[in-house]
Structures are given as C-alpha cells and as structure tokens.
Structure 1
C-alpha cells in the first residue's frame, strides 16, 4: 500500500537540512577563498619588494651619473623611465644636502599619501610641489624601498643623495583579478554541483522516505490496524528503515492491545450482567432479611416496652386497687373520713400512670414546634420558679445569656425540667457533703447554651454510652424515655446535647441551640 505524502518543498525538513549544509559549505568556501587570496597577496607583495630591489640595481648608476654631472635633463629622463615601469607608482630623489630634486607619481608626502604630479629641479622642489593633490584619501597600501645614490671616483665612494621608489597594493590587485575571478567561479561551480548532489541524495534517502512515513502515520485508523505495514523503500538498515519497522511494530502492538481490551470489555460485560443478576438476587434476599429483622426488632421493642410499661403500671394500679378496697371498707362502716388518705394515694397513683402514658406519647409521636420569641434568661428563671427543689439541695443560678431567641417554650421547658429532675435525683443519692445544683446560660456564636450540672453520684462510662437509648434507665422507677425525649427536642431545634460526667464527681449536661431556627420541624416516631 502506498502511503507517500508530498510535503511542500519550503516546509520540508530535507530542504531545511539542504540549506543548512549549503550554508555551511558556503561559509567554509568563503573562508578558504579569503585565506587563499590573503596568502597570494602576501606572496605577490614579497615579489614586488624583490622587484623593487632589481629596479634599484638597474637605475642606481644612472641616477648617480645624472647627479654627479648635475644633468637635470638626463635626471628627468631617468625619472620618467622609472615611472613607466608597471610595478612602480612613485619616485622621490634628494641630493646629498637632503634637498628634494625629483618627485613624481604616488608617494608618501609630507602630510599624506597621494599623487604629487611630476617635478624635477636640481635647485630644489618646493613644499607645495611635494604635497599630494587634494581629494579622497589614498586607499591602497604603499610599499617603498630607499637606497643611497653613490658615485665611485678613483676608488673613492662619494654620497650624492638618496632615492625612494614606491609600489602599491593596486598592482597586486591587477595581477590577482583574473585569478580571484577564476577562484570565485570555481567555488560557485563547486557549490552548484555539491548542491545538486546533496539535493538528489536528500530527496532520495530522506525526503521521500519521510513522506512515506508521514503518509503512513496519517492513514492509521481502527479499520487498518491489523493489516498496517510501512515500507520506506530504502536500502540497508539505516535509521529511516528502523523507524518504519518500529512504526509497523508499534501499530501491531496497538492492534493487539485494542483486541485484548475489546475481549476484556466483553468479558467484563458478561460478568457485569451476571453480577447485576447476583446483586438483584442478593438485594431481594437482604430486603427480605431486613424486613424479618425489622419485624423482630419491632416485636423485641414492643416486648421490652410492654414489659417496662406493665412493670411501671403494675405498682400504681396495685396501689389504686388497695386504696379502692380501703375506701369501700370505710364506706361500709360509715367511716367516710377514713377514706381521705386512700383516696389521695389513689390520686397520686393515677397521676403516675398518666405521666407514664404521656412519656410514651411524647417519645412515639413528636409534634411540630410551636415557635415563639422570648428572653432566654427570663424564660428559664420562670421555669425554675415553678419547680419544687428539696431544701437540702442548693441551687446556684448564673444566667448571663441576655438574648432573645425563637424556640418552642413548652417543649424546651419539658427538656429542662427533665434534666433538673435528674440532677436532683442524682444529688439525693449522694451520701454526704453539700448538694449543689448549678444552672447557667451563655451566648455563643449565633447560639445560646443552657448548662445544668450537679456534684452528685455521676455516671459510669457504660451509662454515658447508653443514656440516650430508649427504655434505658438506672433507676428503680420510670420508663427510661426521659433522656431520649430530651435529645429529640434538642434535635428538633437543630441543636446539640452533650454530657460530661465522672463517677463520684458529678454530671454536666449542655444544650446548645440556635438563636433563630433554620430548618423545618422534625417529626419522628417509634418503628
């Protein structure tokens, strides 16, 4: 299957690599060419300096004769002849008194380098004549050679003056122009050949295989994973071929992994269906078992409640029965005044029975809250004034809440009275020492707290754990619903109740309720 994808040449990695290689080659070629030109320049400069020495040898005797004979015409001819030599660009000649007598061409003048024209005068050349013409600064490098002019007379050497001859770099440039042009042409031709060779190689061994890999990558889909294979059409075991083989192996692994995943998903689907059926069966069994357990719990609760209530009612009913018998006997003997005591006893027993029934009603059917606003401290003070507290119990008040709150006054009164009664009973069980009952209020963050504490007998850890359980009681009388009812009332107000107690040290019960109720009424009943 053919996968080749054509990438635009300007965006191709191969093109960018080619440009990078050509740029590197061009930099190297430029460096080599400049080095070659510099070496050639130095070589030509040395040749010119050597040629200046040859010119010195050729003209020194003629110049000596011209100066010895003071032949200005011959000196002019010799100087012009020297300036016609291709490598010379300037000449300066001075006599023994260092007076300039001939100057011409490009020389190193008094103030700058440049062309001074041509002047010959054995009497001396003026400074103006020896000054370079005004214009652009001379841009070529000057090479000069100085040599003395001497004349041999009867074996004696006479110093007649000094000559300076000049050449410059333009001479070298003229001689190297063709050579540099051929060198640059050779570099460009080599660069073009190299570029074409690299272009062919990159296209053959890189761009085309990469196009195949790119097309193969784009063609991968779930439909052809099993049959996918890519051939980069390259010889040998190079990186591109290894990459193609790795891609083929990767796709094969991916196909195998997807196949295994599909098989696993099918197995999971089967197990899921089986598990759902199993869960459904187990759920039905659990619901049945829960229903049976709930029925047993209801029967157990009902049995416990029946036993407790029957036990609590049996004593007052027995008392009522005895009182009725005494009243009947007193009436038969016409002693009605003897019936007062059994009658009061019967009334107390009836009140006890009524209280037991009211506790049951309060716990099993909780009515909605009748919310009204009142001052916590004033309301609690009024509740305490209604209570009859034994003389041996010292009641200490610390009402510092000083806030108005919304709550069900009757229900909260029932809870507080229950806790005060429990505190009094705990103090009455105390054998010796003072008996202190403390009632306090305080304001917290958006809540008020009522604390009722005593220094009575205290509770064991087991009693604390079970104190809110219905029908749980440590007393010889009562149904055991008091603290459960208190907890229900507090929770109806969206509050919290906590107990701290230590055996032999006393108990503290804390009620924390919101100043403003923030929820609906709580309805509850026994199952």
Structure 2
C-alpha cells in the first residue's frame, strides 16, 4: 500500500513538473508574440504567419499534455482497481483462514482431543499471537487432563484393591464366624456325647452280646434274620456314638512316614465289593511321589467315607468313581470324583456341618469327621459339584509342616 502511494506521488510530482515546463514554454512564446505584434516595424504578413505557427505549437503542446494526463489518470485508476481487487481477495482470506482454523481447533477440543494444535499461522500479527496463546492453553489443558486421567486410574486401582481386601476380610470374617459356630456346635455335641457315652455304650454292649446269644439259639431262619436286623441297628447306633465321640473329643494322632498311594490302594480294596455290587467302576491313578507324614487309619477312614459317598451318588450299572494322587506345590493332593447326581449349590456349604446329610440313612457325621481329621494334618478338604454331572472332593495335605504343630496334634490337643 505504501509503495503504491509513493509511486502515485512520484507520478503526480512528475506531471506537475511537466505542466510547469509547458506553461513556461507557452509564456515565453506568447511574450515573443506580444513583442512582435506591438513592434512598429513588423511586417504584418510575416507576423501573422508566425503567430499562427505559435498558436498551432501551443495547441499541440496542450493536446499532448492532455493525452499524457489522461493516460496517467487511466494508469492510476487501473492500479487502484487492481490493488482494490487484490485487497478484496487477499484480505478476507488472510482473516477467514486463521479464524476457520481456530473454529476447527475449538470443535476438536470440544470432542475431547486435547492433543490438537493450530499450525501454519506463524508471524507477528494478532491472529498468530492468538493461535500461540490458544496452543499454550491446550498444552496446559492436556497436561491437566492427563494428570486427571492418571489420578482417576490410580483411584480405580486403589478402589479395586480396597474392594478385594474388603472381600477377603469379609470372607475371612465369615469363615471365622462359621468356624466359631461349628466349634460351638461341636462343644455342645462333645458335652452331650461325653455325658451319654457311658450311659448308652455299656447297655449297647450288653444288648449286642445278648442278641448274639439269641441268634445262636434261634429256632428258625426267620427268627435268626430278625435278630440279625436288630443287631445291625444296634451296631449302627454304636457307630454313631463312636462318631460323636470322635468328632467332639480330640484323639491322639499317630503320624508316620507313609506312602499315600498305599493308603489309597488299601481304601479302594475295602470299598470295591460295594462298588461291584452296584455296578460302579473304580479308576485309580497314583501320581504322588514320596512318603508323607500321615495317620494311616485316620486317612483311610476319610478315603473310605469319600469313596462310599461317591459310589452311593452314582447310578447303578453305569457310574464311575475316580481316585487320583498328585504332588502339587509341595503338597499331597488326593481327589475323589464321581459322575453321579451331584450336590445342589444351596447345600454345598452345609455338607461339612454335623448331622447334615442328603442320604436317608446318613447320620451327617462322616464329612464333618473327615474335615476334622484332615485339619489335624494341617490340610484342607474342599468340594466342587454340579447337579446332574457329579462331584469332586479334594484333599490337600502339605508334605512339610511345623514340628510343634504336629506335636500338638499327636498329643490330641488340636
């Protein structure tokens, strides 16, 4: 713009100079003409011819000057129009393009993308300064947003950890409550069993002896059969009493280095007739390696109880019961699995409670006693089951246990 004004000013000065020269030229010529007309010795004819020539020259000069001025005016007008057109095209583009970029930036940020930056507006103008400030603001917002996201993620992790800890603590408290309830029940059972043990056991022994004598003197097979059935019930009552005493009164544990595969094999031999009578297959797999400190008789009692329960839950003629021993993470693991009727989920937490049984003829003492025996080995017994598909009982006993722990259990104080 400034350059164009300087050019126009220069042309105007040049034009004024030309007009001044033409005026001086005309003034000199008209001065000469005036002298000629006023001179007395002048020849009129020659003077008239000279005057005509002077007038023609003056008209020619003025005409050329007018043409020059007209051309100059056209140049100025054309330049002004050209400059105006350039301004009309370039100036809005210079303004709208940065504004469009600013609008695009705000829309992008509105969608949550704080990494967007305005580029291509370098310079010293106000728009460039605004774009730089906008980019700085976006950088600050992005840093704050990232910090908030990191803080939110840390909060989520903390909440998840806290929730897990709360769940673990709640589960532990619930288990402790169940153990307390179980201990209270066992204490009541123990007190009850201790009080009636001598009152019932001695008469039962006498009744058993008397029935044996009567069976030997039976006069008919029908009488002998009836006495035998009564003997079975008396012995069942005696077994219940023994179970009550075993569940409530701690007994000395006889820990020895024993091959767990041997205990399993012996238990399977004892229950095989029951399985064959029902048409149930027994599969055994020995995978445990090395001896483990066990109470042979107590562990055999647990395995027999688990095997009998598995056999009883399967369908006659097509059931399968599997027993497997393994060494896993420094512990002995024994699993007893069947493909029987399974246990309802609502009953799984109750099966280790005293007197709870799903069998019509069951006492509800076998699994609680088994649990107590395994816990005396510093182990645990768990169950997983699905109705219609079967159950799996898992016994885990660590190979290495603290000496004082075993000593306490060997003396029957556990």
The answer to which structure has the higher helix fraction is 2
Could you say which structure has the larger radius of gyration? 1
User: TM-score, normalised on structure 1?
Assistant: 0.36
